[in-house]
Structure 1
Amino acid sequence: MKMIDQYVYAVTKYLPADSREDVGKELRANIEDMLPDEPTEDEVYQVLKKLGSPIKLADEYIPQKRYLIGPGYYDRYIMTLKTVIGICIVVFISLEMISWISNPEITDSLSGYLAGMISGLISAVLEGAIQGALWVTLVFVILEKTGIESGDIPILNKKWSPDELKDMSVQGNNRITRGETVISLFMTVLFTALLYFKPHLIALYLKGESGNTEIFPLFQSDRLRIYIPVILLFTVLQLGMFIGKFMKGYWNRPLSAANAAYNMASCILIAVMLTDKLLFNQEFFTRMALYLNETPKHYMALWENRIIWVILGIFVVIAVWDSIAVWIKGFGKKG
């Protein structure tokens, strides 16, 4: 029966490749032994419910269990790790290059200049790889230890049921492409890296009287540090959603709800930051006003009364549109 096929697949996909076929045959035989000769769908349902979560059952077939990331997650962990580390390296190298272009270090020799640039790039590569590996591993350890994907979530008093078995051949417009998840994660990593490591790059760049480039950062660094823990939390949540989308491959109700909640929380955070007058560098607005031939007072009034709300409105519209579109895609999927 189809439900048995789905269950066997759901169990064996969490096992090492070399044991999947044998375990699949054994498991199928065990299920058939627990059923009458001509079982009804309800009888199959009850047997599978008794066997429990595919992830937990797969764990029983693994003889050695001393691991941080188990075999059930390992292949997807490695694939996700490669993707995220690649994104982080690209982002960190890009930020390092922008930093060098906008504020080059003055040295007495070309060799010193090149040595400084190369060491900076190597440092960026290592930092990007370490950060990517750290956060991906953290999320997968949480998945491994909490059993969230297994369907048994103690904190919600939720038990796995055969209703969560899904046909793996996802059709229709609810499919999640790898491209959209990678782009989404790239933008998140870029935004976080900018604010956490190099917030001074978000600035107004003007040529001074001496010909040198003068930089006026948008943010007050001391005030920005207050928001950094929250921003990092949002990044981890986004990474968790990326992994969830990557592992599922299609939009379902839990993912759609998580996406909507994340969008709503992001809008709240952006609103708080935009309306925090202490967060922004007043010199930035003064220089911007002079550059636009406006008085600083008039430009500040324009920022507070119009520009802030236009920016926030754009974010809200995008968030609402994305939430509704994703919810429509995931509405037909229950598990």
Structure 2
Amino acid sequence: MNLIKLYIQEVTRRLPDKTRNDIALELESTIYDMLPEDYSEEDVHRVLETLGNPAVLASKYNDKPMHLIGPKYYDAYITLLKLVLPIAAIISFIAIVAVKVFSPVDDGAVLETMLSIMGQGIGNTFNVLIHTFFWFTVTFVIAERVDGIKDNSPVSSGFKPWSPEDLKHSIYVPKYKKIKSFELSCGLVWTAMWGTTYFYANHLLGIYENGENGLRMVTPAFNQDVLLSFWPLIVLLIGAEIALAIYKLINKQWTYKLATFFSIHQIASLVILVIILTHANLFTPEFLNQMGDIFTATPTRIENSLIWGTITIFVAFAGWGIFDVYKRATIKTGINK
């Protein structure tokens, strides 16, 4: 029973969403029609071998031909390409941000630097994706051309001919439990953005006015010396977020261990946030006075509102995040959805 459902899963996961259910029911009916009444595991093996490699069978159901790379390597090519492209994109973007962050920035030009980071980051990432796609494709084309094996049966991502035994190594991961590449990319981009903002907060966060030369900051919100005094904690926090992203990339699904790592990171982040926000002289007096004039409140009330408002929002998001990842971790992997 397990091998049958795993085989159907391996076929239908390569098909468009709108046709998966119908083809799954059709394929299940076909398999059971081919089996005797009191079938054994050997009978199941025989039937699945008759039906052949799931990638080949899927190509017969699918309207899209497997011609970008020859049928023998196409499935392995697509599987590995989906893994390599996000990694290349993330590394290229992080590299651009790192170069910009550790480069000297003229006073008043940090906003332009942030826009430059985004522009160059997107452009550089796009170029890296194109080059990665090109050379990755060329590598597979060459591999197929120099392959002296006459057997044209498709190979798996492990570059071995498929057999029903491969199904025993396949684990069904529910959609909500999976960690998507997009989720990893957004997480690392967010880390790069808030890290850059923290170290240049006195140039980016504050009160702006629209003058003759456009929008410019007139009053910084934070005392940068106070922020920089906590730089070891911030670097440690950034390193933990990168380590968490790598752990997600390796694990590919939420587990109790990964959810616990995530929870520890969230709690540590909250503690560091509270320590920084409650430090004396974090906000500049000029900023608090101007905000007090705008909202008709005392500087002390403005400061308390900013501190506890920020902490409340962070606690709410951190609490929801911890609840969500543990909920996703409780979903069991296996055959049944």
Cα distance, 1:236–1:258 mapped onto 2, change above 3 Å: same
Aligned residue for 1:267, secondary structure, equals: helix
8 Å Cα contact 1:199-1:221 kept in structure 2: yes
More deviation, 167-176/238-247: 167-176
Equivalence for 2:176: 173
Cα distance, 1:266–1:81 mapped onto 2, change above 3 Å: same
Cα distance, 1:271–1:224 mapped onto 2, change above 3 Å: same
Say whether residues 1:308 and 2:307 are aligned partners: yes
Q: What is the alpha-carbon distance in structure 2 between the residues aligned to residue 197 and residue 273 of structure 1?
A: 16
Match of 2:187 among 158, 161, 184: 184
How many Å apart are 1:175 and its aligned residue?
Answer: 0.7
TM-score normalised per structure 2: 0.51
8 Å Cα contact 1:199-1:219 kept in structure 2: yes
Cα distance, 1:248–1:197 mapped onto 2, change above 3 Å: same
Say whether residues 1:82 and 2:88 are aligned partners: yes
Amino acid corresponding to residue 191 of structure 1 in structure 2: W
TM-score normalised per structure 1: 0.51
Q: What is the alpha-carbon distance in structure 1 between the residues aligned to residue 246 and residue 233 of structure 2?
A: 20
1:1-335 pair list within 5 angstroms: 82-88=88-94, 103=108, 167-197=170-200, 199-207=202-210, 213-290=216-293, 292=294, 294=296, 298-304=298-304, 306-332=305-331
Deviation beyond 6 Å, 4+ runs, structure 1: 75-78, 92-96, 208-212
How many Å apart are 1:81 and its aligned residue?
Answer: 5.3
Percent pairwise identity: 21
More deviation, 240-249/82-91: 82-91
Unaligned regions of 5+ residues in structure 1, if any?
Answer: 3-74, 106-116, 130-164
Cα distance, 1:293–1:309 mapped onto 2, change above 3 Å: closer
Q: What is the alpha-carbon distance in structure 1 between the residues aligned to residue 85 and residue 215 of structure 2?
A: 45
8 Å Cα contact 2:86-2:185 kept in structure 1: no
Q: What is the alpha-carbon distance in structure 2 between the residues aligned to residue 300 and residue 318 of structure 1?
A: 26
Q: Deviations over 1:82-102 (max 9, x none)?
A: 233333367579999xx89x9
Q: Deviations over 1:154-210 (max 9, x none)?
A: xxxxxxxxxxx9744422421111112211221111000121256421221135799
Q: What is the alpha-carbon distance in structure 1 between the residues aligned to residue 249 and residue 283 of structure 2?
A: 37
Q: What is the alpha-carbon distance in structure 2 between the residues aligned to residue 266 and residue 318 of structure 1?
A: 12
How many Å apart are 1:308 and its aligned residue?
Answer: 2.0
Q: What is the alpha-carbon distance in structure 2 between the residues aligned to residue 333 and residue 244 of structure 1?
A: 19
Q: Deviations over 1:226-259 (max 9, x none)?
A: 1111111111111111111112211011111001
8 Å Cα contact 2:86-2:181 kept in structure 1: no
When the two chains are superposed, the root-mean-square deviation of aligned CA atoms in Å is 4.6
Q: Which has the larger radius of gyration?
A: 2
8 Å Cα contact 1:176-1:251 kept in structure 2: yes
How many Å apart are 1:121 and its aligned residue?
Answer: 5.4
Q: What is the alpha-carbon distance in structure 1 between the residues aligned to residue 175 and residue 82 of structure 2?
A: 23
Equivalence for 2:135: none
Q: What is the alpha-carbon distance in structure 2 between the residues aligned to residue 181 and residue 212 of structure 1?
A: 33
Amino acid corresponding to residue 90 of structure 2 in structure 1: V
Unaligned regions of 5+ residues in structure 2, if any?
Answer: 3-80, 125-167
Amino acid corresponding to residue 257 of structure 1 in structure 2: T
Amino acid corresponding to residue 310 of structure 1 in structure 2: G
